[in-house]
Structure 1
Amino acid sequence: MTGHEGLFIAFEGGDGAGKSTQVRLLAEALRARGREVLVTRQPGGTELGAAIRELVLHGDHVSPRAEVLLFAADKAHHVDLVIRPALAAGDVVLTDRYTDSSVAYQGAGRDLGAPEVHDLQMWAVDSLVPDLTVVVDVSAEEGRRRRGDVHDRLEAEADPFHDAIRQHFLSMAAGHPDRYLVLDGTRPPDQLHDAVLERLEAMGVLAP
């Protein structure tokens, strides 16, 4: 655990991987077991975050460094107003994306330097790290197939951009296997959900 009363789980992965489905399934399972669950997402989750999301993902061109700073501002605000209070109350917080997305998308995808982006993100969230980060892994080609013809600014980037992001997620997970769970996103959603529950049981934070 990371020093808070609640349980903090982040879901990461490329666009179209199926993160949102896994967030929904886990929230339903935890609520059925009597846990208080807060579901949120980044960017977003607050009024400021929603404005940043619209600006960065659907607005006009945003320079790469400005993109990093806007995402960091969203996370700083989001953690202070939403995530930390919920964890202090003993709730389970499930977030669709967190700091690793910025490290992968802007650090690796935009080639701005993963260590530098990581340090900025950690400063923004005052070093709040999830108890578990679930990476739902699919190839860039599979993610594009699933998204179809609807793309935001980041989704519309070419496959090499998404390949770099995927490899960085896998690299982060390989470096810290105690804090990450990598799932093959091509498997049926219920199988992935079962794997998440098994990991939480193994961590001792969820009764079998």
Structure 2
Amino acid sequence: MGVFVAIEGLDGVGKTTVVQQLAERFSGHALSTPGRALRDSRKPVLEAFAEDELAKALFYTASVSSQGRLAHSLAERGEWVFVDRYWASTLAYAKARGVTADLDQLGRSLIQPDLTILLILDEPERQRRLHKRGATIEDIETLDPKFRQCVLEELRAHANLIVNLSFQEPQAACSIIAQAIRDQF
């Protein structure tokens, strides 16, 4: 049996890099939400739902459902699957944006990862990375301390494992995470 690992964290902590490196290290698959098929439609969908945070959350939830089914299928075939953002991020960001619908109930119907890892990073370094890559509107909202705290609290509540990447080179960070995963399985 394979393993489905969700990698969660704030924008700029290195999730994408870690997911790609873990997929290589474990000869597995690197997925993300929204998935590749939705990347081109993401911006127009979010613009169309500009004033409706619940609609945005449901768009991301649809992506989580789709990618979760794919991840589960691959894991059932005995493969390792690493997903860059999954349900915890969708829920955390929706709550921080003021969505009051019972998304927790909806989340129980989604495929659950075998392990959810929260990546954290020294805040000045995270902000430096955001500015270096050209911060998006979504990135910028995490600069607000109240918003960031709300997201982090929700992410922590859903994480099985928290890994601090502060002051770690990417390869070293990946090694630490890979060992933590091996320790779990």
Same structural fold, with TM-score higher than 0.5 when normalized by the shorter chain: yes
* Alignment counterpart, residue 161 of structure 1, candidates 147, 172, 177: 147
Q: Does 1:112 align with 2:99?
A: yes
Q: Which amino acid aligns with 2:73?
A: P
Tell me the equivalent position of 1:97: 85
1:117-196 matches, within 5 Å, as: 117-123=103-109, 125=110, 128-138=111-121, 141-148=124-131, 150-157=134-141, 158-159=143-144, 160-173=146-159, 180-188=160-168, 189-196=170-177
Q: Which amino acid aligns with 1:110?
A: R
Identity across the alignment (%): 25
Per-residue CA deviation, residues 109-139 of structure 1 (Å, 9 max, x unaligned), is: 11324x822222332x2xx211111111135
Structure 1 unaligned runs (5+)?
Answer: 32-36, 174-179
1:4-153 matches, within 5 Å, as: 5-31=1-27, 37-45=28-36, 47=37, 49-55=38-44, 59=47, 61-80=50-69, 82-107=70-95, 109-113=96-100, 116-123=102-109, 125=110, 128-138=111-121, 141-148=124-131, 150-153=134-137
Higher relative contact order (CA 8 A, sep 6+): 2
- Secondary structure of 1:155's counterpart equals helix
What's the RMSD between the two structures over aligned residues? 2.3
Q: Quick one: distance in 1 between partners of 2:148 and 2:124?
A: 9
Structure 2 unaligned runs (5+)?
Answer: none
Q: Quick one: distance in 2 between partners of 1:172 and 1:66?
A: 22
TM-score of the two chains, using structure 2 as the length reference: 0.84
Q: Which amino acid aligns with 1:187?
A: F
Conservation of the 8 A alpha-carbon contact between 2:88 and 2:154: no
Q: Quick one: distance in 1 between partners of 2:39 and 2:89?
A: 17
1:171 deviation in Å? 3.4
Aligned residue pairs: how many? 180
